[in-house]
Amino acid sequence: MKIGSHFISFPYILAPMAGYTDLPFRLLVRRLGCELACTEMVSAEGLVRHISLTRAILKTVPEDHPLSIQLFGSNPEVMAQAALLAGEAGADIIDINMGCSVKKVVKSGSGAALLKDVKKTEGLIRAVRKATRLPLTIKIRSGWKEGELTYRTMAQVAEDLGVDALVIHPRYAVQGFSGQADWSIVTELKKRMRIPVIGSGDIDSPAQALDLKRQTGCDGIMIGRQALRTPWIFNQIREIEAGGPPVQPDLEDRRNWLLSYWKWIEENYQGPAQIKALRRTLFVLTRGLPASGEFRQNVALARTQERLRTLFEEYFDSLASLE
């Protein structure tokens, strides 16, 4: 799959997820087979105003590429400035968030709210496209509410304005994550569009990711929530493509991944933010292990890194003794 000047040999992509797809998590999934990864969504206003917490989301390192930086906002001029800043920060691809249905984002006129006014959104896309030579993508939903065919209009506008690829989550904004993603929309867009079409929504296994890509004919698959549950899904897709069964990680694999992830978190976070990130890590990489429910309850109560490390060591030692 080619997005602008970038050839993506493995078109299974880590989706942008606020609060999750930070630099440590991206490094983890890259180690586990992911090629193209997206940042958390980045406020264009915060970026242009040089707000430190917003700028921190852009942090990257040489091994964190190819990288798509996702921007959200509603002001064309601000979005254009933010695209330039994202490019200076190391973006390989710029993505415009037109699918987030969280109230706070929609209230600002950003995210999925852009689907309500195609003409205004056309101006925003044009401004960003004019501002940057980097490959540009947009991530949309089917429309604001059921029955609308906004995805058809928006896809055509994007293609006409020089957008390099389209990501579609085939749910309506008012649905949030309820109901089921309608992948027939992905099939339809692939038949209509000349630019790459990437499908997203309800991927819950490596086999399903491969099946939906084959059934719809889409160019790529974006994986979100399942990558949080099983970050190794990318390696499993590669294993199936190579003709073998998907390998389940063993206890030692998870322990080693946790230790690497722990190091990256220590390097990138301080204070309460570090504790929060470590808790999240322990929640994700112990899901499905024996007695993990009790372990995660203890993790939720821990207040220091030292306590978290003790819980981690004791838990994995206890699991090793069962083998």
Catalytic residues: 100
- 3-state secondary structure (DSSP) of residue 97: strand
Q: Where are the beta strands (DSSP E) in 75-146?
A: 93-98, 136-143
Q: Which residue has the tokens 């399903």?
A: 208
Q: Quote the CA–CA distance of 170 and 165 in Å, as a whole number.
A: 16
Burial group, residue 225, by CB count within 10 angstroms (0-12, 13-18, 19+): middle
Tokens (6 digits) for 40: 């958390």
Tell me the two tokens of residue 96. Answer: 């415009």
Cα separation, 86 vs 95, in Å, equals 10
Contact 93, 222 (CB under 8 A): no
Return the beta strands (E) in the chain as ranges: 2-3, 6-7, 12-14, 37-38, 42-43, 67-72, 93-98, 136-143, 165-172, 197-200, 220-223
* Residue whose tokens read 């590669």: 238
